[in-house]
A and B are shown apart, each in its own frame.
Chain A
Amino acid sequence: MITRTRWLVAAALASTAAAFATLGLPDAPSPGSDVAWTDARATQQATAAVSQMVSELFTVSPDSVATVRAAARRDLSGAAVAEFQRLYGSVLERAHASAAAVRTDLRGLGMEHLTATSAEVLVIADQTATAGGRSQTGPALLRVTASRQSGRWTISDFKVL
């Protein structure tokens, strides 16, 4: 009888412990899962955020230097800060003096990878550089890495392919 009682109590404890343990199983995908396009809402939000940041950051004209600098402080993080300075620093410096400008026209964006905290986006664009009254347009292909913190996306890295 005692043995049976012990078994019953042990089973109840084990069953309760298992129930509590399984309650912790997540319904949603784990934070590291790639939810690009399988979570349409998250994909659209990340795509829209990256699209807007790329448009604001990679188009520089003499009139928009202050705006671009503010966007860089707000929207860039990590390695992207130095990379942006390397590529756009001189344009921003001489935009006023030499009427230098770079315009980026997005042609297409593709979401390659998306998690709760990071996104990799392929950016296909045309870039027009203007200096000394002459313009030249060429294709541009970027892979942008975006990071999400406190619900806000920033560009943490980008590479020209």
Chain B
Amino acid sequence: MRSPDLDTQRGTPEDSETAPGVARRQARLGVPAATLTLVVTVIGAAVSADRVVSWTRARTTEHAATSARDAALSAGLAGITTFNTVDYVHASATVDAWRGCSTGVLRESVTTTRARAVAQMRRRHASTTATVVAGALSSYDAKQGAAAVVAVVSVTGSNETFAKKRFVAQLKDVRGTWLLAGLAPMGSAS
């Protein structure tokens, strides 16, 4: 019995005429072909790896961007709700909540008017709850850390009074947390 390897290495005339011999010879690669095949393998693997890495990076960046955007919207809507929620029984906590979700001039304003706001709430027995009817980002700049949210909220008072109010809130990203930098009613229709 002859070894197939020996047959193909020798390249005897009879091998070249028989089908199994041809198949064997064709199945083997010379050194240049083997090198080329190896190079193709390496390049293919490198291209695949590069594409997968860049695709993963793009998806990660996209996910981070949408998360930051959604966080800005959530903070804006929550802030508008907080500033329209009043409880005279917990007046100090109410103002603390306003202060906690604000920054800059708005926060300063809440701080300086705190005593007056608390007294006013208690005197009027003010109590309101607010829920967002609809809201969306009206501007957003992740690089500048600035955004604006427009929203319509329904505000219900303790004596069952009800009002739909429209607000635009300016937001600022303060060390990864979106806070209200400004809050204003939108051109009210009479």
Contacts and interface: CB of A to CB of B under 8 A. Distances in A.
Interface string A7-19: 0110110111111
B62 A110 contact: no
Interface residues of A, number: 47
A122 B135 contact: yes
* Most chain A beta carbons < 10 A, residue from B44, B150, B190: B44
A39 to B, nearest CB: 9
A29 interface: yes
B119 interface: no
B190 A137 contact: yes
Nearest to B72: A37
B9 to A, nearest CB: 9
Contacts of B58: 27-28
Interface string B141-167: 100000001111000000000001010
A95 B46 CA distance: 69
A5 B34 CA distance: 8
A108 B140 contact: no
A107 B166 CA distance: 10
Given A22-B51, A122-B134, A161-B133, A5 B29 contact: yes
Interface stretch (B35-43, B109-117, B121-129, B172-180): B35-43
A110 B137 contact: yes
A36 B41 CA distance: 41
B5 A1 contact: yes
B65 to A, nearest CB: 4
B62 A12 contact: no
Interface residues of B, number: 46
Contact of B48 (A19, A36, A121, A161): A19
A111 B51 CA distance: 32
Given A108-B150, A109-B150, A126 B28 contact: no
B138 A108 contact: yes
Given A8-B38, A138-B189, A36 B44 contact: no
A56 to B, nearest CB: 20
Nearest to A161: B134
A69 interface: no
Given A2-B24, A38-B65, A126-B187, A25 B55 contact: yes
Contacts of A26: 55
A29 B152 contact: no
Nearest to A121: B136
A54 B115 CA distance: 45
B27 interface: yes
A121 B184 CA distance: 21
Given A137-B189, A139-B166, A110 B149 contact: yes
5 contacts: A17-B44, A19-B45, A19-B47, A33-B62, A139-B188
Interface of B: 4-5, 24, 27-29, 34, 37-38, 40-45, 47-48, 51-52, 54-55, 58, 62, 65-66, 69, 133-138, 140-141, 149-152, 164, 166, 168, 186-190
Q: Which 10 A-B pairs have the closest CB atoms?
A: A110-B136, A15-B44, A22-B51, A37-B140, A108-B150, A19-B47, A126-B189, A19-B44, A25-B55, A18-B48
